[in-house]
Structure 1
Amino acid sequence: MQPIMNVNLKLFQVFLLVAEHASFRSAADQAHRSQSSISTQIKQLEGQLGVALFHRTTRSVRLTAEGEQLLDCVRRALHEVEAGLRKIAEAVDMRRGYVSVGCSPTVAATRLPIVLAAFRHDYPDVKLFVRELTSSDLFESLRKREVDFGIAPVTAETDLTFKPILKEDIYALVPRRLFQTLKSSIPLAELVQMPVLLLNPATALRALIEATVSAQGLTLSTNYQFSQVQTLIAAATAGLGTAILPKIALPKVPSDDLQVLRIVDPPMTREIAIVTVKGQSLSPAATRLVALITRLIDPQKGQATIKPASRKRVTH
């Protein structure tokens, strides 16, 4: 393989178009060029690299093993270039920045909005994009560089970095018609005797609950699973079963028909973290948002911290 500096970098952009569309014709349409021109450039790139990048037939175009490797490298390289250029621009003027965030549903439905409002107050010209995602989808979006960082429970993903910002207990919202107690907690063994309401399997909370129950040699009985926290709470209020939720997602004023009980024997806890791809550096705008989330994510600290402030503008 010839030295990489001898490769025309524009050829990588053409390669990316063909790879993502799996079609020379579609890539040509996207680039507003002829199909023969695109084909010639791909042959030129293959010649410079000394490997075939595509398997071509009259019906399909697909990547070779070497093409798959190159696609991953090109995507990461172009993202790093884009991120670098963005950081340079934002360092000159924060007003030109933008941040894309992935957030787990339990945080997105509770604490994230007030943090975003505080950030918008301080940096009104920074563009914010937020995606509410289950943990598995969020991690995949991070790997694809679709979001700058995530807010999600800590898991064992080895290619991601987790910076914990909140640790919280797991609670049960128990309909009084299913179980009544004067205590403020409920043993897990008693909890699993009643019908349980859960978030869908793609969430880290669901995985934590099932792992804890299994480790105790117990089993869950559930006929319902939901994607949204508010639906889970509404179902518990209607008496369909007991909702299992982290403290951050508990309703501020529970229905009189519900008891809020901390799960014990064993206690269940989870950690919320800022999640990034290993080795990734955040833009100035994203770094500022992470700092604000870290400061305001804890509901107890947040109540004392969030208050009207004078309009703050960034100056250099």
Structure 2
Amino acid sequence: MNLTQRQLRMFVTTAAVGNISRASEVLHISQPALTRALQEFESQLGVALFLRTTRQLALTPEGERFLPVAQRLLHDLTEAAALIQGEATGQRGSVSLAVGEAFGCTVLPDILHAFVKTHPDVRVRVVNDNSQGITRRVAQGEVDFGIGSPVGRTEALRFTKLLSAPLGLLFNPELHQLKAWVRTEALGDLPLLKESSDTSIVSVLRAQGSDLVAHMEPGVEVSSLALQLAMARAGVGIAVMSALGASHRDAADLRFSPLRPTVQREVFVMQQRDRALSVPARALMEAVVERARGAQVHRLVRFGV
């Protein structure tokens, strides 16, 4: 049995107004056409839905039991159609993305602020993770796309370079005096905060053969940008981070000195190669790529390829 949305709407409307004449006006069809359609609907169901009198239509016991079911079905069909139409235009639906803390705290907020204003009915979920976690979440389909520095490349993912930022040292200028550019061999016994081994910064430093990783080893290990800023400010240690992380508004009273020779951290937008994004997800990803250039970040951050 195939019940149509049109049949359900005619039945529910007629039951609500209790009169063929008024129902036909509401539905914008002729009275004979409505009468015929309702009779065909009853024949299809094999049961009478209405008790017909000369002045009023009343529901049969079967019609009374069927009415709430028909109302629910009609509501669900209408909602489903609105959902699909909304997602097709990018105005409804959901988007999930995984981001690194540096990008998420500096560039992403303004982009999301603009996006939610133009897409108020799109639900956005932002997951913070390190680069290894971001890559894994995207590869496993936990999120629509990710923004970070991939730890290891995989053919299953597509990468679009978003920006590059040099690594350097962030410190409290009232406690430490470092040159505008710093060579690792000149650090001496300065205390460095330790990075977790699975971060992109450690991966980049190891790939460059930098001895900075060994220099960090005795330091206090911290696992978030907020902790790095607080510890650097208190003098617990000097933080190794990119110019992007140093762009955090809470780092305004701290000083950033890039490393020499230059070590770049690259940030990419990553997505599954064989997975088509929904219209809202594609719209947000495009907004990230297009609007990131306007972010107020450290002058050494370079956007694009």
TM over 0.5: yes
Structure 2 counterpart SS, 1:184: coil
Shift of 1:218: 7.5
1:234 aligns with 2:227: no
- Matched with 1:223 is 219
Q: Give percent identity, aligned residues only.
A: 24
Counterparts of 1:114 and 1:281 in 2: how far apart (Å)? Answer: 26
Shift of 1:117: 0.9
Counterpart pick for 1:96 among 82, 89, 92: 92
Counterpart pick for 1:170 among 146, 152, 167: 167
User: Quick one: structure 1 residues 210 and 224, their matched pair in 2 at CA, closer, same or farther if it must change by over 3 Å?
Assistant: farther
1:80-118 superposed Cα distances (whole Å, 9 cap, x missing partner) = xxxxx9x96555342322111011122122222221111
Structure 1 counterpart SS, 2:287: helix
Counterparts of 2:130 and 2:256 in 1: how far apart (Å)? Answer: 24
- Matched with 2:277 is 282
Deviates more, 1:150-159 or 1:170-179: 170-179
Counterparts of 1:112 and 1:293 in 2: how far apart (Å)? Answer: 7
Shift of 1:204: 1.3
1:121-151 superposed Cα distances (whole Å, 9 cap, x missing partner) = 1111111111111122222212221100000
- Matched with 1:56 is none
Counterparts of 1:210 and 1:152 in 2: how far apart (Å)? Answer: 18
Shift of 1:191: 3.5
- Matched with 1:120 is 116
Structure 2 counterpart SS, 1:219: helix
User: Quick one: structure 1 residues 247 and 286, their matched pair in 2 at CA, closer, same or farther if it must change by over 3 Å?
Assistant: same
- Structure of greater Rg: 2
Counterpart pick for 1:109 among 100, 105, 109: 105
Counterpart pick for 2:291 among 289, 292, 296: 296
Structure 2 counterpart SS, 1:290: helix
- Matched with 1:187 is 183
User: Quick one: structure 1 residues 291 and 192, their matched pair in 2 at CA, closer, same or farther if it must change by over 3 Å?
Assistant: farther
1:211-252 superposed Cα distances (whole Å, 9 cap, x missing partner) = 43x445973233212221011011011111110111111144
| 2:290 partner amino acid | R
- Matched with 1:244 is 240
Counterparts of 2:86 and 2:187 in 1: how far apart (Å)? Answer: 51
Counterpart pick for 2:130 among 127, 134, 158: 134
1:30-51 superposed Cα distances (whole Å, 9 cap, x missing partner) = xxxxxxxxxxxxxxxxxxxxxx
Which aligned runs of 4 or more in structure 1 are off by greater than 6 angstroms?
none
User: Quick one: structure 1 residues 218 and 143, their matched pair in 2 at CA, closer, same or farther if it must change by over 3 Å?
Assistant: closer
Q: Is the 8 A contact 1:98 1:285 kept in 2?
A: yes
1:187-223 superposed Cα distances (whole Å, 9 cap, x missing partner) = 12223742211332222123223443x4459732332
Counterparts of 2:266 and 2:115 in 1: how far apart (Å)? Answer: 23
Q: Is the 8 A contact 1:235 1:241 kept in 2?
A: yes
Aligned length: 214
Counterparts of 2:176 and 2:296 in 1: how far apart (Å)? Answer: 32
Structure 2: where are the runs of 5+ without partners? 1-80, 298-305
Structure 2 counterpart SS, 1:281: coil
User: Quick one: structure 1 residues 287 and 192, their matched pair in 2 at CA, closer, same or farther if it must change by over 3 Å?
Assistant: farther
User: Quick one: structure 1 residues 245 and 285, their matched pair in 2 at CA, closer, same or farther if it must change by over 3 Å?
Assistant: same
Counterparts of 2:132 and 2:151 in 1: how far apart (Å)? Answer: 10
Counterparts of 1:125 and 1:97 in 2: how far apart (Å)? Answer: 7
Structure 2 counterpart SS, 1:223: coil
User: Quick one: structure 1 residues 191 and 252, their matched pair in 2 at CA, closer, same or farther if it must change by over 3 Å?
Assistant: farther
| 2:274 partner amino acid | G
Q: Is the 8 A contact 2:149 2:268 kept in 1?
A: yes
Counterparts of 2:288 and 2:203 in 1: how far apart (Å)? Answer: 25
| 1:282 partner amino acid | L
Counterparts of 1:217 and 1:110 in 2: how far apart (Å)? Answer: 25
TM-score normalized with structure 2 length? 0.62
Counterparts of 1:94 and 1:111 in 2: how far apart (Å)? Answer: 22
